[in-house]
Structure 1
Amino acid sequence: MDRVNRFSLINPAKSPIFYGYIILIVGSLGIYFSIPGQTIGVSIFTDPVKDALGLSRNQFSNAYMIGTVLSSLCIGRAGIWFDRYGARYTAFFAALTLAVALLLSSWSLTMSNLVKHAFDIDSWMVPFTVMTLLFFLIRFSGQGVLTMASRNMIMIWFDKNRGKVNAFSGIAISFGFSSSPLWVNFLIEEYRWDGAWRILALALLVFSILILQFYKNRPEEHGLLPDGADAPDNTQTEVKEVRKQYTLQQAKATRAFWMYGLMLAFNSFFITGLTFHVVSIFANEGYPKSEAISIFLPASVVAVTISSIFNYLSDYLSLKLYLYLMLFGGIMASLGLLLLSSPVGIYFLIAGIGILGGFFAVLNAIAWPRFYGRDHLGSITGKIMGLIVFASALAPSVFSLCFSTFDSYGLLGYLALAFLLFLVVGSIKADNPQ
């Protein structure tokens, strides 16, 4: 008990309520604190930072893409760290790394100028390289490791009630993420972009201490069981009989791993690209900036409603139904992009990204422990997170390239529909490996 509670004053075994509910709250906070490393948290900084560093929009997008691609290649290793060291230490060092990365980002202009003067170089490559390295740290620690460790920890503390607790977590996170552009923008306007990053870094330093106190790896380490079960022997026997504990290699040999993973990656690609270029996408069809930004609130309402209902029902329904409903949402969103010149296209786009976001919140949390067990959850979700982050890395540049080449975003709609048709066919036999 002393080893698993090292550096912490909190003992889950002495908690007056099942400690899993504390895990649910702090784990959801952990995902919320990853916002500075998420696209929605980075995109607000795009214009002031690129202008300060003297980078074009394409150069800034490419720095973001390269840094994110590099981070996606390393997230699988972080999943192995999760399996070896647990959520507590993995999340702690992720939060600490994100805080340091944000602090360094606030000094990116100073660092770029120092390098230029030291080597007598006056080139955009200097700030480009600096931001690429910083984006690698921000995306790896924020969107990747902190999010993965916090979500996995919640799923490990629950089994039969995973859907219900993920419904609560999903609602809190969805509203938190949808409101984040407002308060991030407020920080930038009040304290400039560099001051805003320093404030966020300080908040993460404080939160890393809370992680060390409240995050706990597994209920069994503290004499407890998932869901707060009262009958240890019976429950443990039942779980062992029903659940095969898949390794990463065994999971990759199943069709479900790739079909669900690719669907989640598609969601990340489409939503990231849309979010990053939403003003340009709508302006190309003659809409003002206010119209472009306004789609996210109703889409969030759709996403929260769907994730709440279907998270709760996921304890009783097949996830394959969810996969096809998510595919339907992707098709609607793709058609919305193609038909954006008409009001119908806007409605399709709002409904589509809402459905995508709602089912993403369910499947990305529920599918992996249900399909493959808890013992190697870190390495399995680390691989999936790598796919998701890689897709999000490509999106801004692919969207930008499509527009600069064809003067339209329409081609992306057709490519998305073709990819989704492939997933519709490929998912016919993507059954639960258990």
Structure 2
Amino acid sequence: MSNPNKFSFINPKKFPFFYGYVILFIGSIGVLASAPGQTIGISVFTDPVKDALGLTRNQFSNAYMIGTLLSALLVAKAGVWFDTYGARYVAFFAALLLGLSVLICSVSVEISEYIKSLLNFDSWLIPFLLITVLFFFVRFSGQGVLTMASRNMIMIWFKKNRGKINAISSITVSLGFSSAPFFINKLIDNNGWQVSWQIIAICLFIFSLLILQLYRNKPENFNMLPDGDTKGSDDVKVENVETDFTLKEAKKTRAFWMFGFALAFSSFFSTGFTFHVVSIFTSHDYPKNQAIAIFIPISIIAISVSTLCNILSDYVQHKVYLYLMLLSGVLASLGLLLLSNTFGVYLIIIGLGAYSGLFAVVNAVTWPRFYGRKYLGSITGKIMSFLVVASAIAPSLFSYSFTSLGSYIYISYIALAFLLFLIIGSVRVKNPQ
């Protein structure tokens, strides 16, 4: 077996306490580090970048959609890489690629102008194709691989305390993501969007070195067990009889599809809403600062829900969480439909907040609980491809709903129809274990 501690000065076995808590800390930071590849990190750059590249809102949204869809083709394969090579190397190369991608994004205007002069062809197609390719790398490495590898690593190091541990991680991630637009917006105001991306790239390069030092694939590589258990305990015996499902076996269960589609809906709605949040609110005569400020109460609700539900997840059937997610989706969809009224704003805040909180629980804790740890990468990689596809089509659908039909409310009708399908399809869902 290859040396699991290669390129690092830190030996988990020699730590004075269970190394899983270091994994919890650095893995949560790893999920946060994916922010430049998440919609919440890209959305702040939308207006200045599209204007600088000379693209319309629809063109920019389509570039985002195509780039994200292309990344979905590879993200499932990244789950197989995770099972083969582990979180450490997969996350390391993902952070490096994300840093390099945003660095190139910072000079995208210069590259676009150079290609135009080289080909003697002044067309919107050149910046469109360029930003599409860059979106592919940013979304694949950030939203896809770095997030998946970091979250799965935490879940692999814990079992009986998975819910409680994920509660701590979820609080950190929720606080970080909810505050990201404000910090990035401040960074752009002070330095411009190009320098801001360059600063982010440097931070990612530094973090990739921390990944090599602190990320570790699984406790068994160091003669350790999840939760810091010792051999011979009752919990270890339970762990040994847990069934590990392959991806092919998991796909034969109803739970895989219903939970996967429910998570994908969250990715679709929250991505589309976040990407166009300023436009959505201004179309109903709300000011820009109110549009951005809506993420604060959403994050408060998300943190509260995820904390409570993570702690209870060790005792509650996850089918309950599935139905709570779908109910939250209905509230958010109705909120978008009724946004012209203040009541609609409250529905969006409650619906998106609760859905985001439950998403953090289900997307991390449900998969190892339902399908075991051995093939966790390939299973969550496939689910991640659902999320990536959903997040890819959302900005364009939201955009065309507004530019072609004159309002964002038509998205609500699509969302409510899909949620009804999931509610009916989830009646017979059960834990495969």
Partner of 2:109: 109
Partner of 1:64: 64
1:414 CA drift (Å): 1.4
1:234 CA drift (Å): 5.2
1:2 CA drift (Å): 6.8
**Given that residues 225 and 232 in structure 1 are in contact (C-alpha distance below 8 angstroms), is that contact kept between their aligned partners in structure 2?**
no
Partner of 1:11: 11
1:293 CA drift (Å): 2.0
Amino acid across the alignment from 1:364: N
For 1:329-363, what per-residue CA distance to the aligned partner results, in whole angstroms no more than 9, with x for missing partners? 00111111111111211111110000110100000
For 1:252-305, what per-residue CA distance to the aligned partner results, in whole angstroms no more than 9, with x for missing partners? 110000000000000010011111111222222222222222221111111100
Amino acid across the alignment from 2:372: G
In structure 2, the CA distance between the partners of 1:131 and 1:30, relative to structure 1 (3 Å rule), is same
Partner of 1:339: 338
Amino acid across the alignment from 1:34: S
**Given that residues 99 and 205 in structure 2 are in contact (C-alpha distance below 8 angstroms), is that contact kept between their aligned partners in structure 1?**
yes
Partner of 1:85: 85
CA distance in 1, matches of 2:238, 2:11: 27
| SS of equivalent residue, structure 1 residue 429 | coil
**Given that residues 61 and 396 in structure 2 are in contact (C-alpha distance below 8 angstroms), is that contact kept between their aligned partners in structure 1?**
yes
For 1:373-432, what per-residue CA distance to the aligned partner results, in whole angstroms no more than 9, with x for missing partners? 000000000000010011001000000111122211122111111111110110011111
Partner of 1:245: 244
Amino acid across the alignment from 2:309: F
Amino acid across the alignment from 1:407: G
CA distance in 2, matches of 1:131, 1:152: 30
Q: Which runs of 5+ in 1 are unaligned?
A: none
**Given that residues 401 and 407 in structure 2 are in contact (C-alpha distance below 8 angstroms), is that contact kept between their aligned partners in structure 1?**
yes
CA distance in 2, matches of 1:310, 1:58: 38
Partner of 1:133: 133
In structure 2, the CA distance between the partners of 1:120 and 1:352, relative to structure 1 (3 Å rule), is same
Partner of 2:145: 145
Give the CA RMSD over aligned residues.
Answer: 1.1
1:240 CA drift (Å): 2.2
For 1:146-170, what per-residue CA distance to the aligned partner results, in whole angstroms no more than 9, with x for missing partners? 0000000000000000000000000
**Given that residues 31 and 173 in structure 2 are in contact (C-alpha distance below 8 angstroms), is that contact kept between their aligned partners in structure 1?**
yes
Partner of 2:384: 385
1:53 CA drift (Å): 1.1
**Given that residues 62 and 396 in structure 2 are in contact (C-alpha distance below 8 angstroms), is that contact kept between their aligned partners in structure 1?**
yes
1:238 CA drift (Å): 2.2
Partner of 1:41: 41
CA distance in 2, matches of 1:408, 1:208: 43
1:235 CA drift (Å): 4.3
Partner of 1:23: 23
CA distance in 1, matches of 2:284, 2:354: 23
**Given that residues 303 and 354 in structure 1 are in contact (C-alpha distance below 8 angstroms), is that contact kept between their aligned partners in structure 2?**
yes
CA distance in 1, matches of 2:222, 2:143: 29
Q: What TM-score results when the alignment is normalised by the length of structure 2?
A: 0.98
Partner of 2:122: 122
CA distance in 2, matches of 1:265, 1:371: 18
Partner of 1:204: 204
Are 1:190 and 2:159 counterparts?
no
Partner of 1:357: 356
**Given that residues 229 and 236 in structure 2 are in contact (C-alpha distance below 8 angstroms), is that contact kept between their aligned partners in structure 1?**
no
Runs of 4+ in 1 over 3 A off after TM superposition: 232-237
Amino acid across the alignment from 1:55: L
> How does 1:280-291 map onto structure 2 within 5 Å?
280-291=279-290
1:177 CA drift (Å): 0.6
CA distance in 1, matches of 2:139, 2:104: 14
CA distance in 2, matches of 1:204, 1:69: 24
| SS of equivalent residue, structure 1 residue 299 | helix
| SS of equivalent residue, structure 1 residue 122 | coil
In structure 2, the CA distance between the partners of 1:217 and 1:227, relative to structure 1 (3 Å rule), is same
| SS of equivalent residue, structure 1 residue 375 | coil
| SS of equivalent residue, structure 2 residue 276 | helix
Are 1:32 and 2:71 counterparts?
no
**Given that residues 35 and 142 in structure 2 are in contact (C-alpha distance below 8 angstroms), is that contact kept between their aligned partners in structure 1?**
yes
Amino acid across the alignment from 2:60: F
Amino acid across the alignment from 2:230: D
CA distance in 2, matches of 1:233, 1:346: 51
Partner of 1:275: 274
| SS of equivalent residue, structure 1 residue 68 | helix
In structure 2, the CA distance between the partners of 1:299 and 1:233, relative to structure 1 (3 Å rule), is closer
CA distance in 2, matches of 1:2, 1:319: 37
CA distance in 2, matches of 1:345, 1:286: 14
Structure 1 stretch displaced more, 402-411 or 76-85: 402-411
1:233 CA drift (Å): 6.8
Amino acid across the alignment from 2:143: Q
1:310 CA drift (Å): 0.5
CA distance in 2, matches of 1:316, 1:19: 25
Q: What TM-score results when the alignment is normalised by the length of structure 1?
A: 0.98
**Given that residues 57 and 399 in structure 2 are in contact (C-alpha distance below 8 angstroms), is that contact kept between their aligned partners in structure 1?**
no
1:98 CA drift (Å): 0.4
Are 1:76 and 2:76 counterparts?
yes
Amino acid across the alignment from 1:88: R
CA distance in 2, matches of 1:232, 1:388: 39
For 1:186-215, what per-residue CA distance to the aligned partner results, in whole angstroms no more than 9, with x for missing partners? 221222111111111100000000000000
1:236 CA drift (Å): 3.9
In structure 2, the CA distance between the partners of 1:232 and 1:23, relative to structure 1 (3 Å rule), is farther
Count of residue pairs the alignment pairs up: 433
CA distance in 2, matches of 1:337, 1:180: 23
**Given that residues 259 and 427 in structure 1 are in contact (C-alpha distance below 8 angstroms), is that contact kept between their aligned partners in structure 2?**
yes
Tell me the percent identity: 58
Amino acid across the alignment from 1:354: G
